[in-house]
Chains A and B, each alone.
Chain A
Amino acid sequence: MHITKGERCCAILTATTLVLLSLAGCTTTVKQEAKGTFIEGDVAGGEAETLNWILAADASSFAYAGYTVESLASYDNNFNVVLRCLAKDIEVSPDGLAYTITIRDDLRWSNNSPVTAEDYVYTLKNLMFSDWLNYNYREDWMEEFGGKKVFVTPEVINQTTFTITRKTVQPEFIYTLYDLIPYPKYISVKYEGDVEKFTQAREFNELSYTGNLGPYKFKEWLKNDKFVLERNPDFFLGKDNGAPYFQQYIIKVLGTSAVMQAALEAGDITYCGIEPHNVAKFKKMDRINVYTIPTRGYNIISYNQRANGWEGLRRKEVRQAISMAVDKETIVRRIYLGFAEPAYSFIPSSSPWYTDDTVLKLGVAPLNSKQKAMEMLRSAGYEYTKNGDKNILLDKSGQPVKLLLVTTPGSDVVESMSLLIKQELSDIGIDVEVKWVQWSTLLRQYMMNKVPGSDQELRYNNGPEAVSEEPWDLSLMGHNTDPMAPSGSAVFFASDGGLNSFGFFNDEVDQLFHKIRSKDGLDKTARAGMYGQLARLISEEQPVDFLTFTRANVGFQKNVKGIEPGINMGYNSYLWRFE
């Protein structure tokens, strides 16, 4: 796993934040000497796709490039905004439509020319919004206006100031802004309009333009092996304190987690993730510090509510009954060995928008009972028969209920969960067949859908009438949520959500998503209330069974100082140092 930079914010200041901030304040005053090589271990498969990050679709590419260029701002572990390239926080007009961004005046490209507002606006207008480049995340910068999707309007004010104007209010748009990173105009113009040349441009693939913009400079990238960065002595945040304090920063790819952890134990690498079954062992070691931190990952079973899923899944009570039968505590204890917590909606407990008291906690005692689940199914009109001492649930036509669970092979956790779910549901008389299909097959034959007989193009949500090519009932997947702007999950749970492949359509939910992302959401207390309502509604409706939010364990050699364990622990990694 990568140390995540750039997370989203909400200004809730707690006592602990104040303490941490004052600690960070201490470190900046003492000028430290830079020494040593920091080696981060990473399991094969997590490697970046390209350093020309504007073309990337994967998260690792942004993370890799992020070591050499800072975004406008990032977030600490409590989601407070920490200014990076910004000279002061973004100003939002009272009507929520205009954003004024002021950047620092000491940012430089590698040719020593200043990074200006023009670079930012150019990046948006000529690259991200352009037709020839096809920026993957252009929709982040679009809004619906007059029945059409249109881009927001960026405009240069002066050397260090630019504005972005929207036509509709979207309170969570500001988080997109904070993540903005510019491309150098003076290089980009050479390739403008030619996607092939742009893709293959040496400057972009070797990050040779990054000037004083990041703590490190790109040195070498050997695929499947290592990504090597060296200290950037000019880093704009290191002028006073001499940061960063490592001569080199290396991301080392290792074959398996077992190999990686042996390397950490032997002291060959400085930092890596630790598997649950090894945590106790590493915590006992004198040379290693282990931190348990929340993550943004969660697992779900989706219930196919479209016409080609079991008819029962279209009823709320049946979905609730099934969710009640799957014991989340068992998943936490036996699969994660304790390093996870039950999930009830897509808002994790680490999110500032999480409210504990309103959600319906299915799958956790007292709402975890096979007995109760069976009663619910009975009262929903389904009958049981016995085979020996085994209960068998019958569908409306008197046939035993058999559900098909589709999932992809390759992930140990997913594999374990599907086996566990199969067992849990057999206890309430439902026979689950687990079908392993490859990712591309899962997507094309099970997730994508269209209205039968129509000439629609296959998409992940073609409306309530659409069905997938192959029938399915349950599917198991891992998702990521954004704790700062959970409304992004509308892609799954809103009626028009582009990934609502399981066919959940609920007006109330749609309205809440809409409200959060409108004028009504501008007020943070009001927005928190809406999120609370949404979480309750979702936890009752159970469009999917939210299983667990995972905790990660990370191990560091003890001589690394300056770490603040937490969900965004990488935000101050440029201040980490060897003792």
Chain B
Amino acid sequence: MSELKEQTRKKARLSVYFNKRLASYYWERLKKHKLAMAGLGFIGFLILLAVLGPFFTQDPTYSDFNIANMPPLGFSRQESVYDIKTDEFTTTVISGRLDHPLGTDSKGRDMLSMLISGARISLLVGLIATGIAIFIGSLIGVLSAYLGGWVDNVLMRFTDIMMTFPFFLLLVLIVFLFGPSLAIIVVVIGLTGWTGAARLIRSEALSLRTRDFITASRALGASDGRVMFNHLIPNVASLIIVMSTLSIPGVIMAEAALSFIGMGDPLSTSWGTILNAGQHTLDTAWWVAVEPGIMLFLTVLSFNFFGDGLRDAFDPRAII
């Protein structure tokens, strides 16, 4: 008997977070948003690429200096090698080849596999760092709104300080001090990037706090935790999802920017790292700077499209 009760209670709690009918309603609305679907499509493609790509392409760190700076398929360039003894150049024409369709970099690494590795890193950084940031942001936002009083005051002042900190400067400073590893980059972006989410979720939760159903459940003697987890959080869930989707591009860009200025993890091949190398060979091997930029751009664009569509889908007032 009590076990059955326990089960129903679990189910009920779950249903607060995942309601099949509601989900399919949102999905229908989202489907009408063409750009969002295109974005979702590209994100799906990217995930597929990141997961399956490594099985089909060569090791992105494998370098062969005999084919360094090979242009993409359909392009060619000249390379001259100097001979100290004869003071003469031997010039050869290097053309793109099918086995390296996107060319190679100055170390003879395959651009295609490097870009795929970059996709994995960008997605990983984007998802984990956003996860950390949104988790902290939601926690602080909800706590602040629900508990109010001095807790709210302290948390919001703290948020103010974090918000005022010159974000990128702090990022570079910490990475410089603790070494450029992917883990540190992810954690630092996560730990510093939650302020916007905290504020937004707080204000949303504040307006919810005075609603009847919260007052009712409190009047029925629900604990603070229960009110927060069963009523407050589920009701700001859609906001959290939208916030997450829309902050992923910022995180991806932050990592790329960091790598671009040479503070990326040297052990991993990210788009920013490739771009950093590419800016030094703009005049000879343009593809090294162009290709990762395009990937970065398309990825960020997709998340923006998708996030925008999600927001509209969740917004009951929006006409789709």
CB distance from B144 to the nearest CB of A (A): 38
Which of A14-22, A135-143, A380-388, A435-443 is the interface stretch? A435-443
* B107 in contact with A337 (CB, 8 Å): no
CB distance from B274 to the nearest CB of A (A): 13
- Chain A's closest residue to B179 (CB) is A438
* B262 in contact with A419 (CB, 8 Å): no
Indicate if B217 sits at the interface (CB-CB under 8 A). Answer: no
CB distance from A92 to the nearest CB of B (A): 37
Q: How far is the CA of A274 from the CA of B161 in the complex (A)?
A: 47
Which of B47-55, B74-82, B250-258 is the interface stretch? B74-82
For this complex, into which size category does the number of interface residues on chain B fall? 20 to 34
Q: How far is the CA of A551 from the CA of B104 in the complex (A)?
A: 25
Q: How far is the CA of A292 from the CA of B282 in the complex (A)?
A: 23
Which of A23-31, A241-249, A327-335, A359-367 is the interface stretch? A327-335
Indicate if B277 sits at the interface (CB-CB under 8 A). Answer: yes
Partner of B65, one of A334, A412, A438: A334
Question: Which of chain A's residues have a CB closer than 8 A to the CB of B80?
Answer: 279-280, 337
* A258 in contact with B281 (CB, 8 Å): yes
* B63 in contact with A423 (CB, 8 Å): yes
* A551 in contact with B84 (CB, 8 Å): yes
Question: Which of chain B's residues have a CB closer than 8 A to the CB of A438?
Answer: 179-180
Indicate if B266 sits at the interface (CB-CB under 8 A). Answer: yes
- Chain B's closest residue to A338 (CB) is B82
* B267 in contact with A436 (CB, 8 Å): yes
Indicate if A256 sits at the interface (CB-CB under 8 A). Answer: yes
- Chain B's closest residue to A262 (CB) is B283
* A256 in contact with B65 (CB, 8 Å): no
Question: Which of chain A's residues have a CB closer than 8 A to the CB of B83?
Answer: 338
Number of interface residues of A (CB under 8 A): 34
Give per-residue flags for B290-305: 1 if the beta carbon is below 8 A from chain A beta carbons, else 0.
Answer: 0000000000000000
Indicate if A277 sits at the interface (CB-CB under 8 A). Answer: yes
* B69 in contact with A277 (CB, 8 Å): yes
Question: Which of chain A's residues have a CB closer than 8 A to the CB of B64?
Answer: 423
Give per-residue flags for B237-281: 1 if the beta carbon is below 8 A from chain A beta carbons, else 0.
Answer: 000000000000000000000000010001100000000010111
Q: How far is the CA of A334 from the CA of B107 in the complex (A)?
A: 9
* B82 in contact with A339 (CB, 8 Å): yes
Give per-residue flags for A104-135: 1 if the beta carbon is below 8 A from chain B beta carbons, else 0.
Answer: 00000000000000000000000000000000
Question: Which of chain A's residues have a CB closer than 8 A to the CB of B107?
Answer: 415-416, 419
Indicate if B89 sits at the interface (CB-CB under 8 A). Answer: yes
- Chain B's closest residue to A334 (CB) is B65
Q: How far is the CA of A438 from the CA of B282 in the complex (A)?
A: 26
Interface of A is mostly: helix
* A257 in contact with B280 (CB, 8 Å): yes
Indicate if A410 sits at the interface (CB-CB under 8 A). Answer: yes
Give per-residue flags for A244-267: 1 if the beta carbon is below 8 A from chain B beta carbons, else 0.
Answer: 000000000000111101100000
Question: Which of chain B's residues have a CB closer than 8 A to the CB of A436?
Answer: 266-267
Indicate if A409 sits at the interface (CB-CB under 8 A). Answer: yes
* B65 in contact with A338 (CB, 8 Å): no
Indicate if A341 sits at the interface (CB-CB under 8 A). Answer: yes
Indicate if A379 sits at the interface (CB-CB under 8 A). Answer: no
- Chain B's closest residue to A553 (CB) is B82
| From B69, B106, B283, residue with most partner A Cβ within 10 Å | B283
Question: Which of chain A's residues have a CB closer than 8 A to the CB of B266?
Answer: 409, 436
Indicate if B19 sits at the interface (CB-CB under 8 A). Answer: no
Indicate if A308 sits at the interface (CB-CB under 8 A). Answer: no
Q: How far is the CA of A283 from the CA of B266 in the complex (A)?
A: 35
- Chain B's closest residue to A422 (CB) is B63
A262-B283, A337-B81 as given contacts; A419 in contact with B63, CB under 8 Å: yes
Give per-residue flags for A276-297: 1 if the beta carbon is below 8 A from chain B beta carbons, else 0.
Answer: 1111100100000000100000
Indicate if B37 sits at the interface (CB-CB under 8 A). Answer: no
Indicate if A404 sits at the interface (CB-CB under 8 A). Answer: no
Question: Which of chain A's residues have a CB closer than 8 A to the CB of B179?
Answer: 437-438, 441
Q: How far is the CA of A409 from the CA of B181 in the complex (A)?
A: 12
Q: How far is the CA of A449 from the CA of B279 in the complex (A)?
A: 38
Question: Which of chain A's residues have a CB closer than 8 A to the CB of B279?
Answer: 256, 258
Partner of A279, one of B82, B106, B180, B267: B82
Give per-residue flags for A526-560: 1 if the beta carbon is below 8 A from chain B beta carbons, else 0.
Answer: 00000000000000000000000001000000000
* A333 in contact with B283 (CB, 8 Å): no
* B283 in contact with A334 (CB, 8 Å): no
Question: Which of chain A's residues have a CB closer than 8 A to the CB of B63?
Answer: 416, 419-420, 423
Question: Which of chain B's residues have a CB closer than 8 A to the CB of A415?
Answer: 107
Q: How far is the CA of A286 from the CA of B86 in the complex (A)?
A: 22
Indicate if B206 sits at the interface (CB-CB under 8 A). Answer: no
CB distance from B260 to the nearest CB of A (A): 12
Question: Which of chain A's residues have a CB closer than 8 A to the CB of B79?
Answer: 277, 337
Indicate if B153 sits at the interface (CB-CB under 8 A). Answer: no
CB distance from B183 to the nearest CB of A (A): 15
Indicate if B8 sits at the interface (CB-CB under 8 A). Answer: no
- Chain A's closest residue to B61 (CB) is A419
Q: How far is the CA of A330 from the CA of B66 in the complex (A)?
A: 9
Give per-residue flags for A403-419: 1 if the beta carbon is below 8 A from chain B beta carbons, else 0.
Answer: 00000011010011001
CB distance from A269 to the nearest CB of B (A): 15
Indicate if B284 sits at the interface (CB-CB under 8 A). Answer: yes
Question: Which of chain A's residues have a CB closer than 8 A to the CB of B207?
Answer: none
A307-345 at interface with B (beta carbon < 8 Å): 330, 333-335, 337-339, 341
- Chain A's closest residue to B63 (CB) is A419
Q: How far is the CA of A423 from the CA of B67 in the complex (A)?
A: 14
Indicate if B143 sits at the interface (CB-CB under 8 A). Answer: no
Indicate if B91 sits at the interface (CB-CB under 8 A). Answer: yes
CB distance from B267 to the nearest CB of A (A): 6
CB distance from B86 to the nearest CB of A (A): 10
| From B79, B107, B179, residue with most partner A Cβ within 10 Å | B107
Offer 26 A-B interface pairs, CB within 8 angstroms, sorted by A: A256-B279, A262-B283, A277-B69, A277-B79, A277-B281, A280-B80, A280-B82, A292-B82, A330-B65, A333-B81, A335-B65, A337-B80, A337-B82, A338-B82, A338-B83, A412-B106, A416-B106, A419-B61, A419-B63, A420-B63, A423-B64, A436-B267, A437-B179, A438-B180, A441-B179, A551-B84
Nearest first, the 10 closest Cβ-Cβ pairs linking A and B are A338-B82, A280-B80, A436-B266, A334-B65, A409-B266, A419-B63, A258-B282, A338-B81, A258-B283, A256-B280
Hey, which bits of chain B sit against chain A, CB under 8 A?
A: 61, 63-66, 68-69, 78-84, 89, 91, 106-107, 179-180, 262, 266-267, 277, 279-284
Hey, which bits of chain A sit against chain B, CB under 8 A?
A: 256-259, 261-262, 276-280, 283, 292, 330, 333-335, 337-339, 341, 409-410, 412, 415-416, 419-420, 423, 436-438, 441, 551
